[in-house]
Chain A
Amino acid sequence: MFDRKLIALAWRNLWRNRRRTLITLFGIAFGSMLAVLATGIGDSSYASMIDRAAEMSSGHVTVQHPEFVDLPSATKTVENAEAAAAEARSLPQVRAAVVRQQGSVMLATARQSSGTYYIGIDPEQETPATLETLEQVVDGEMFPTASGGGIVLGEALAENLGAKLGKRVVYTVTDKQGEIVSGLARVRGIVRTGIRSVDASLCYLPLDTVRETLGYGPAEATTVAVFVDDNRQSDATATVLAAKLGTTQEAGPAVLTWKESQPQLRAFIDMKVGGTLILEAIIMLLLAAGIFNSLFVSVMERLREFGIMLAIGFTTAQLFALVMWESLFLAVSGLLAAVVVTAAPYYHLSTTGIDTAQMYEGGVEVAGVGMDAVIYCRIYPESVAAMVVIIVLATLVAGLYPAWQAGRVQPAIAIKEL
């Protein structure tokens, strides 16, 4: 089966009908390229959706009081949020971890009052990669430190309150003891995300100032948002972090991945991934069909030849092996051709991408929930490995029947096939 001569013969056989082989290789190459592009577009758009969602909410991994999601209140905190953030940062795959305070607040100006949710942040810890809105300040600026004064409002909220830059806003919250407390802040900046419902409710306060108002300890907060380099590391990161924080079923802060804190996004992506897998399966199937066609025809033509080979001493098993080797060589050559063919378009798509802004009205201005106007294509190495394996397997499976046919040849009948 592994006789060098047999293998060499298989290789030569392939190139005897150069045209047919080339056509088949072309098929494999282009099919693979398409599969790669489709998967890459998928991989990169989901990655960007997840990253975007992480930036807009509480990171890829979130540390919170276990009851905070269902019963949000100022009493459900992570006692030592700063330490938790530090632990997170010590993990190599974590690119950032920020402590935040979240709760409901009543804002009042001379003209109007309005209830909303606030986010207490430390602007020295946050970057546009952890908090997208830092780049969406249209008027004024973000307050510079966590312990000074200042409040930043969404554009529509500021308008509703009649709040202008530099003017007073009184914020009222319920503190850790259940008491109602107020503080004063002056509007430091106005943010516009483009999403009206967000702009009508966005409110940022300096973290330490809020802590003091709420009567928290200096390291206490409701949320730690952890960001990882590659969203696929979220699960592992959460597990490690939970262990480090001593979280058990009964006690300790909850460490949630984006999948748990945003189950709908997760289900959406699972579904889209499923769709892409189906697409890949279709492409693989089509490739296999093409390969089968090629091998089958090739074998059928050579029946006489196989008969002669049997007559001169080759065994059935060897004929089977011969065709399987041809099949394997087809696969490998096809993959090499695939690499050649895919390289350029992949490079272009992974760096420049397709700008879809022209494809529909509205342009790029509208801030969407998370799909970029530019479609990139960046495939994960695991996906490539999987595809290679599948292509090889598909080719081999496609070769089975023809190979078997080759082995079944009766020398006498074959020779008669003249």
Chain B
Amino acid sequence: MTVLHRRHTLALLLGIAATSLLPGAAWAEPPADSDPGFAVYVMNRLDDLFRGKSSHGRSSMEVKTEHFTRTLEMEAWSKGTEYSLIRILSPKKEAGMATLKAGNDLFSYLNKTGRTIKITGGMLGASWMGSHFDNDDLVRETRLSEDYELALTYKGTVADEPIYVFTLTPKPDTPVVWGKVETVIRQSDLMPLRQSFYDEEGERVRELIFGGHRIVGGRLLPTTLTMKPLDAPGEYTKFTYHSLEFDVHLDDDFFSVQRLKAL
């Protein structure tokens, strides 16, 4: 039985890139799409899209639910896979709140009370900052190419866009709740367009839509990520990246609980 160990995921959402990943540099040439290694290549690339040595960026998150609509402005830093820090800039009520990942620990700094709370097992189900993501999503990481069986199941044109559709089936013992994940990739630049998450009965439960593809901090990235829960029509959580720089100089002790308060 595979035991999943926590790895850094904030990166996936909020952006870091590797110095070594200068555009085109570390990506070996993609194999032909008929090659059996093609799917693995594409998924690795997707996994590593936001990964790297360090980063610093600003973004906003818009959450729409049945009961409220709000937008948060955030600033985030990360270093490798071990550290990341997100600080909320607005609205005023949450300005100054921060979430820190340092090693295997997740902390939340509460601005109003000046206290820092360590997030443990039972809290993982709680929603992060009111969004459709929970703390678990933030901390959990699956490596698509390792945790899923990959298959290229469709190659063609949809809405004038040539795409690939990869169907990912979780390996038998991977701690993943999905029955199946479908990833739609643009043929031209291998950018992700959409990921659909299905339960084991084949019903679509979540959808992640990638948009706003442009060059940021020297790389081509989707700058908007919209998560839609399909059992709550009309609801969504949308991340938009305003700016992103890579390979910024950050000390390890920048990512510390003390630092949280000083910010």
Contacts and interface: CB of A to CB of B under 8 A. Distances in A.
Interface stretch (A32-40, A106-114, A310-318, A371-379): A106-114
B121 A104 contact: yes
B197 A179 contact: no
A169 to B, nearest CB: 8
Contact of A183 (B3, B6, B105, B122): B3
Nearest to B125: A113
Interface in A233-268: none
Closest 9 CB pairs of A and B: A110-B199, A182-B175, A174-B121, A113-B125, A184-B175, A170-B175, A182-B4, A110-B177, A115-B122
B5 A110 contact: no
A173 interface: yes
28 contacts: A106-B125, A110-B178, A110-B179, A110-B197, A110-B199, A113-B125, A113-B136, A115-B122, A115-B125, A167-B200, A167-B201, A168-B170, A168-B177, A170-B175, A170-B177, A172-B175, A173-B121, A179-B5, A179-B6, A180-B121, A181-B4, A182-B3, A182-B4, A182-B140, A183-B3, A184-B1, A184-B2, A213-B1
B181 to A, nearest CB: 11
A105 interface: yes
Interface of B: 1-6, 104-105, 120-122, 124-125, 134, 136, 139-140, 170, 173-179, 197-201, 205, 231
A167 B178 CA distance: 10
A34 B179 CA distance: 66
Nearest to A184: B175
Interface string A164-197: 0011111111100011111110000000000000
Contact of B176 (A106, A111, A166, A170): A170
Interface string A135-167: 000000000000001000000000000100011
A170 B173 CA distance: 10
Contact of A172 (B124, B178, B205): B124
A54 B105 CA distance: 38
B136 A149 contact: no
A62 interface: no
Contact of A209 (B1, B105, B140, B175): B1
Nearest to A183: B175
Given A149-B1, A179-B104, A183-B1, A172 B177 contact: no
A178 B5 CA distance: 12
Contacts of A270: none
Contacts of B136: 106, 108, 113, 172
Contacts of A169: 177
B5 A184 contact: no
B3 A213 contact: yes
B3 A180 contact: no
A162 to B, nearest CB: 8
A230 interface: no
> Of residues B4, B121, B170, B199, which shows the largest number of chain A Cβ atoms within 10 Å of its Cβ?
B121
Given A109-B199, A168-B176, A168-B177, A181 B5 contact: yes
Contacts of B5: 179, 181
A212 interface: yes
Interface in A101-139: 104-106, 108-111, 113-115
Among B139, B175, B205, B231, the one with the most A-chain Cβ atoms within 10 Å of its Cβ is B175
B177 A109 contact: yes
Given A172-B136, A180-B139, A111 B205 contact: yes
Given A168-B179, A184-B176, A106 B205 contact: no
Contacts of A180: 6, 104, 120-121, 124, 139
Contacts of A106: 121-122, 124-125, 136
Contacts of B121: 104-106, 172-174, 180
A183 B1 CA distance: 8
A115 B125 CA distance: 7
Q: Which of B3, B6, B170 has the most CB of A within 10 A?
A: B3
Interface string A292-304: 0000000000000
A182 B140 CA distance: 9
Contact of B173 (A162, A167, A181, A184): A184
Nearest to B203: A110
Given A110-B177, A110-B199, A183-B175, 11 more contacts: A108-B125, A108-B177, A110-B198, A168-B176, A168-B177, A171-B175, A172-B124, A174-B120, A180-B124, A181-B4, A213-B1
Nearest to A168: B177
Contacts of A113: 124-125, 134, 136
A105 B165 CA distance: 35
Contacts of B175: 170-172, 182-184
A201 to B, nearest CB: 13
A274 to B, nearest CB: 41
Contacts of A209: 1
Nearest to A105: B121
Contact of B174 (A111, A171, A184): A184
Contacts of A105: 121
Contact of B199 (A111, A181, A182, A183): A111
Interface in A80-120: 104-106, 108-111, 113-115
A335 B153 CA distance: 90
Contacts of B105: 178
Contacts of A184: 1-2, 173-176
Contacts of B124: 106, 113, 172, 180
Contacts of B3: 181-183, 212-213
Given A168-B176, A181-B4, A110 B125 contact: no
Contacts of B104: 178-180
Contacts of A166: 200
A108 B197 CA distance: 14
Nearest to B204: A110
Contacts of A115: 122, 125
Contacts of B201: 167
A111 B231 CA distance: 9
